[in-house]
Structure 1
Amino acid sequence: MDSITQAALGATVAGAIAGKRCTPKVLLVGAALGTLPDLDVILDYGDAVSNTIKHRGFTHSLLLLPPFALLISWLYCYFRPDCFWHFKRVSFLTISVLVTHTLLDAMTTYGTQLLWPIEGYFEVRNIFIIDPLYTVPLLIAIVAAMLPKINGGRWCQLAVFLSTLYLGWGYLAQQNIGQRVEDNLALQNLPNQNVIVMPTPFNTVLWRVLVLEEDKYWEGLASLLDADKRIDFVSRPLGDWPLEDKPQTLQGLKAFSHNYLNYREENGTLIVSDLRLGMANNLSFQFAYAEKDEEGQWQLLDAPLRYPSERGLQHISTLWQRLKGDQSISANLR
């Protein structure tokens, strides 16, 4: 999730655990702990692909976070022996904030290495990486908890409960769309072995569907508000890797994306894109791997580079109309 949401979640989790002892200082500490796992973005792994696929790695591991939290808690209690918070409660708060951070990240489509150093990316895909309906209740609780004569702990407990309910709603909505997708694939005689259902930006009502086949993929949009339950799928070529050499970063990108990759040539550049993140022709993670020389032969770049994508809010109004069930404009979003 985005940094604001993670800080807000950390603050409210800390406030919920503090209860009647919830103070602005507790909220601040919770917010700081909530952003701590994402500090891995400052690390440079050598190239654009590695920086992408190794994010949410060791700093998000459920095998490392608890012992790290215990170390932080021990240091805090060691240097603050006069604090009324004892080690057991400090460690419970610290572990809770760090673990909820990584579990929330695992709800998005990006993927989280929950068991690092064991290989594997985990994602539920029931919430978009930025979703105001999830974040706003957390922010309201933080503001309320800062006010005098307010039981901030109660507000934080309510916000954590509501945000968790929203995650549950997202999962149920995803399953609803998933059943509809399954029915449509059967009716339209399309493959159903490699299918993923993901929320579109900022909501859990309109969902994007990807269906992977051997040499092409199918893409569709489905809203919970659609009157017509038919999903119009658009077919696009997957392309293929044209070189004999396959760099290690390509293998890593395949694992990260679960092989939902598209290969295409653009202006003499070989571009590899993660199909899961973004919208159709406006994908978020695209990488330049090779360029053609004067003889038209592919030459690998020394290191893959991030290829610019048109990331913006230009499709928001169209997205909103499609969310409300207007299926006639689906083509404008794909």
Structure 2
Amino acid sequence: MDSLTQIVLGAAVGEAVLGRKVGNKAMLYGAIAGTIPDFDVFASHFTDTVSALAIHRGFTHSVLFSVLFAPLFGWLVSRYEHFKDFKGWSWLFFWAFVTHPILDAHTTWGTQLFWPMDLRLAFKTIFVIDPLYTLPFLVFLILAMLQRRTSKKRRVYNTIGLVVSSVYLLLTFLLKWVAFNAFETALTDQKISYLQLDTRPAPLNTILWSANAETEDAYLLGNYSFFDSKPIAFESYPKNHALLGDLVENEKVKRMIAISEGWYTITQEADTLYFNDLRFGLLSMKPNSQNFVFKYSITVDATGEVVFTEMPKGKRDAKKLLSELWTRLKGN
């Protein structure tokens, strides 16, 4: 999830663990702890694109990281804070650390919660930024923050924030199930034979959903809003995996295919090949768009090394997408 959401979650968890004993400092340290797992993004400054993608939401988003580093941070804080309870601070950091990847596991990218096991949990029930999850949570956290440390209202407000956000998170599973059934029915009604079906919420909401359906030679992409009145329309995107040629045996290419979970297409523009990760869809709702959210050029440098370079996304693309999403969300 986005940084603000993780800060709010970490602060609320910190309050639940130590708020009665240390007041707003529990929220402060919880908020800090809630951001620490995302420090793995700095790996992109020290390694290549493929390795950085593999590292992202890996070790720092695991139960093992929480178990190993919570006592370390707990010890450091207990050394200089007036409240010297090492166990209390360790529990605060542990729960703030471990709830971070648990929440991230509900997104499309998912997390390697059980690292070093090669297993990425991705329930794909919520977008990385969802105002309906974050804003109510934030309001109740602020209300709790404004109360005295010993006030009963403080704990009540914080508990309400945690419960409301958790209930919404559970609700997204039901919404995903409804959307999945809608896509499945549409494919059946249109007599489309498919190998597998993958669904996820569109950006910023859980009303509009997107789907990828794999066929023998192509992927079908479609959108469904709970306000739709017309049948779901699917657009076909050829796999073009054969364009990789001998590159398919390259280790970096294999790793990218694994990272994308096999949901990818290859396109060619001039003499350059592009790897398109279909899990995150398109930056446009217009038909036949080739503007994928995650698109990487594939080049070979002078040493023969395969290089993946992520194509930049412009602010205009984001603004245009928001407008198109709002229109599509209201129904087809």
TM-score of the pair, normalised by structure 2 = 0.88
Report if the CA contact (8 A) 1:289-1:301 is conserved. Answer: no
Report if the CA contact (8 A) 1:19-1:154 is conserved. Answer: no
Instruction: Spell out, residue by residue over 1:255-294, the C-alpha distance to the aligned partner (whole angstroms, 9 max, x if none).
Output: 111100110112321110101114263322211112799x
1:262-301 matches, within 5 Å, as 262-279=265-282, 281-290=290-299
Deviation at 1:111, TM superposition (A): 2.4
Deviation at 1:80, TM superposition (A): 5.0
Residue 83 of structure 2 aligns to a residue whose secondary structure is coil
Distance 1:167 1:300, change over 3 A: farther
1 CA distance for matches of 2:301 and 2:188?
Answer: 42
Instruction: Spell out, residue by residue over 1:306-331, the C-alpha distance to the aligned partner (whole angstroms, 9 max, x if none).
Output: 22345412122221121121x1xxxx
2 CA distance for matches of 1:24 and 1:80?
Answer: 17
Query: Stretches of 4+ moved more than 6 A in 1?
Result: none
- Whose relative contact order is higher, 1 or 2, with alpha carbons under 8 Å and at least 6 apart? 1
Distance 1:301 1:268, change over 3 A: farther
Match of 2:63 in 1: 62
Where does structure 2 lack aligned partners over 5 or more consecutive residues?
283-288
Report if the CA contact (8 A) 1:18-1:153 is conserved. Answer: no
2 CA distance for matches of 1:81 and 1:13?
Answer: 19
Match of 1:161 in 2: 163
Match of 1:308 in 2: 312
Match of 2:211 in 1: 209
TM-score of the pair, normalised by structure 1 = 0.87
Instruction: Spell out, residue by residue over 1:140-169, the C-alpha distance to the aligned partner (whole angstroms, 9 max, x if none).
Output: 123223324463332221111111111111
Deviation at 1:112, TM superposition (A): 1.3
1 CA distance for matches of 2:193 and 2:116?
Answer: 34
1:186-201 matches, within 5 Å, as 186-201=188-203
Match of 2:105 in 1: 106
For residue 253 of structure 2, what is the amino acid of its counterpart? L
1:245-256 matches, within 5 Å, as 245=247, 246-256=249-259
For residue 325 of structure 2, what is the amino acid of its counterpart? L
Deviation at 1:92, TM superposition (A): 2.5
Deviation at 1:302, TM superposition (A): 4.6
Distance 1:220 1:5, change over 3 A: same
2 CA distance for matches of 1:276 and 1:81?
Answer: 45
Report if the CA contact (8 A) 1:107-1:125 is conserved. Answer: yes
Instruction: Spell out, residue by residue over 1:168-224, the C-alpha distance to the aligned partner (whole angstroms, 9 max, x if none).
Output: 111110001111222222222223432111000100010001001222110111111
2 CA distance for matches of 1:304 and 1:257?
Answer: 14
The size of the alignment, in residue pairs, is 318
For residue 248 of structure 1, what is the amino acid of its counterpart? E
Where does structure 1 lack aligned partners over 5 or more consecutive residues?
294-298, 328-334
Report if the CA contact (8 A) 2:19-2:27 is conserved. Answer: no
| Structure in which a larger fraction of residues adopt helix | 2
The answer to which of 268-277 and 185-194 deviates more is 185-194
